[in-house]
Structure 1
Amino acid sequence: MLRISNSRLIYRLIHFSIVADLKGTLISYLLADGVDLRFRRKRNKWRRVIHDYKMQWIIRFSGFVSAIMVMIVLAPSLQSFHPAEAIRSNTHIDGYIDGHIPATVTHRSSFRREAIFRDAVGCKQVSGSGDVCDPSLVHVAITLDFEYLRGSIAAVHSILQHSSCPESVFFHFLVSDTSLETLVGSTFPKLKFKVYYFEPEIVRKLISTSVRQALEQPLNYARNYLADILEPCVRRVIYLDSDLVVVDDVSKLWSTSLGEKTIGAPEYCHANFTKYFTAGFWSNRRLSGTFSDRNPCYFNTGVMVMDLAKWRQFGYTKRIERWMEIQKTDRIYELGSSPPFLLVFAGHVAPIDHAWKNIGITKL
């Protein structure tokens, strides 16, 4: 603290000294020049006087600029703390919501233990064993990896914080590194969850190059296999991207009516649907004909309610894989993991209130 105070004092003294010196120098020169000009009346000296006067001002202005440059150079080293310390402070995990999710500063994947969230009055009793097949549970699936770990932990916290019955929420974490299970358990005591290892090789051979390398990560495609990975008794699940924060009760999303549809998601029918696929796709009637009997709209695959029972019944995983195989040879789209979902489901989606994308859920 003393170091910080001395730095500020030195900065102020240098600033005051330079400014005072500049002010005094300018005033003295102006007064001197004024007197000198009043007493030099001879015509043959006026040109020289004016020339000398201009040169003096050029020299003074150059000195003023130099003083300013010195202040700019010195200023960063005289701040209240070193810039490197500020950069290091950004690596700490700050609270995402009301400061409730800070982390220890010792390791990038160490988080402070979260408080236990309790059900409000009127919630259905859930068995203490946390059996995944309990019919009263709300199932939420999220991917976990080290790159987006902070966002995922914030997402889990936000769901628990805003849920009126947090003890009824069961989390299904899809991971490519099983060491994350210990982290989740230590961060959220009493959390009902299960970790599923997603084998990257399952989908790696189906992934085509994309406009961004991040879209080529195998874990992005884990949602395609939820019906196969989760227990057969799990008949419905909410899938959320790992960079979202929920600011409403997730049970409202859980209770969304899907009718005869297999998935529900926020739709955007005003978007130009054609731009999600290549010209080659639209010129091929055999491929583009998949939309001939439906009115397709773009929908957000980062927020979905999925009827896994129907998914299993109609074999949608294989249908998505088939489109990915076509993409490998014919290049029918450019953007990652969403287009296969559009090809299979667009026009057959139960619309979810846009408030869940614009208000109920926000991106980090």
Structure 2
Amino acid sequence: MASSLDIVLAFDDNFWAPAYAVMRSICLSTHRRQDLVFHLLHLPLLAEHKRDLEAITGEFGAKIAWHPLDGMELFDVFVADMPASAQWPKVVYARLLLADILPEAVSRVLYLDCDMLVRAPIERLLEADLGGMPLGAVQDSLHPFIMGRRDMRQNSGIFDLADPYFNSGMLVVDLAQWRAIDVKSEVALIAGKGWLDRLYYDQDVLNLVFRNRWHKLDWRWNTMDAHPAHEALDPHILHFTGKNRPWALWAGILRTTAYARWYRHVMTNDLFYRFARHRWGRWWRKRLPFLR
């Protein structure tokens, strides 16, 4: 049994509350709370938001390892030419630097996106057999459309659509093997081919780097576009990849996502409504610049 359960999240200050919900759902789903170490790869956080995240340690005895990305030369240089958007900020590429940012003593780690909810003991996933591969993941539910894009032809020169393709929202990583691959050099080769602007952000990059070097895990560990119908299938990790998100105020009333009411109470009522005000404030500031 591992002495620690190492989990990585990467986010900016606009996603602090969902990050907290992921962390708290993990704590609520395991008896090994004091073995948990949350490695938070983050851009600058408001002091209030950082205190919210730190509450995990007081409630459950879990540990937090802070890894600030702001001003980190390694991160700044790596993401400088990476494509990004409002929905996919450059912080998403931090997961590609796991081997460089995390301590050498960490041998296996679980990466999770922040739009998730965990319902099963996370140690079962961290201790899963990866079949000798450096990476364990779940096949993407939109495979092969994401690979090929329009008419399943757009990226035919980059991907073979018959190949398996994983969703990068949940990754079980053998860091020793990851380090041996030298991910940064692999990304540089992809960039040198002029492909970056044609790729689906970090997920396509990871699928190219780990082509034929990943182990397929059960879909329950990354149940994508989670709807209420999924509740009957006992999903272990829900991944809210669709347009409807569980932190929307109407989600619990209209049942637009799986476990929406559960999610609100995992995030806690206080944080749920503060996050709603935060999102509304951002929406108005984008449209009314004088409010900035």
TM-score of Structure 1 vs Structure 2, range by shorter chain: 0.5 to 0.7
Structure richer in strand, relative to its length: 2
After superposition, where does 1:260-339 map in structure 2 within 5 Å? 260-268=132-140, 271-272=143-144, 274-276=147-149, 279=153, 281-283=155-157, 296-326=163-193, 329-330=194-195, 333-339=198-204
Cα distance between partner residues in 1 of 2:171 and 2:5: 14
Alignment correspondent of 2:57: 188
The separation in 2 between residues aligned to 1:168 and 1:331, in whole angstroms, is 38
Distance 1:144 1:334, change over 3 A: closer
Unaligned runs of 5+ in 2: 224-234, 241-245, 247-292
Residue of structure 2 in register with 1:140 after alignment: 7
CA offset digits 1:74-95 (Å, max 9, x no partner): xxxxxxxxxxxxxxxxxxxxxx
Per-residue CA deviations over 1:238-261 (Å, capped at 9, x if unaligned) read 000011110111011011111221
TM-score, structure 2 normalization: 0.67
2:271 corresponding residue in structure 1:
none
Q: How many residues are paired up?
A: 219
Residue aligned with 2:148, SS: helix
TM-score computed with the length of structure 1 as normaliser: 0.54
Of 198, 205, 214, the residue aligned with 2:87 is: 214
Q: 4+ runs of 1 displaced by more than 6 Å?
A: none
- Deviation track 1:140-197 (CA, whole Å, cap 9, x = no partner) reads 0012322111111111100000012111111100011165554422453133110001
Q: Distance in 2 between matches of 1:330 and 1:314?
A: 20
Tell me, in whole angstroms, the C-alpha distance in 2 between the residues paired with 1:313 and 1:148: 32
- Higher RCO by CA contacts (8 Å cutoff, separation 6 or greater): 2
Is 1:236–1:305's contact at 8 Å kept on the other side of the alignment? yes
Q: Which runs of 5+ in 1 are unaligned?
A: 1-123, 125-134
- Cα distance in structure 2, aligned partners of 1:185 and 1:271: 37
Aligned to 2:221: 356
Between the two proteins, what is the percent identity of the paired residues? 21
Q: In the TM superposition, what is the alpha-carbon distance from 1:325 to its structure 2 partner?
A: 4.5
Aligned residue number for residue 173 of structure 1: 40
| Separation in 1, partners of 2:203, 2:135 | 14
CA distance in 2, matches of 1:229, 1:149: 20
Quick check: which has more Rg, 1 or 2?
A: 1
Asked if 1:224 corresponds to 2:71, the answer is no
Residue in structure 2 matched with residue 80 of structure 1 by the alignment: none
Aligned Cα root-mean-square deviation (Å): 2.7
Q: Residues 270 and 242 of structure 1: is their aligned pair in 2 closer, same or farther, counting only changes over 3 Å?
A: closer
Q: 1:281 to 1:354 in 2, by over 3 A?
A: closer
8 Å Cα contact 1:276/1:339 also seen in 2: no
Structure 1, residues 61-106: CA drift from partner, whole Å, max 9, x if none?
Answer: xxxxxxxxxxxxxxxxxxxxxxxxxxxxxxxxxxxxxxxxxxxxxx
Q: Determine if contact 2:24/2:56 at 8 Å carries over to the other structure.
A: no
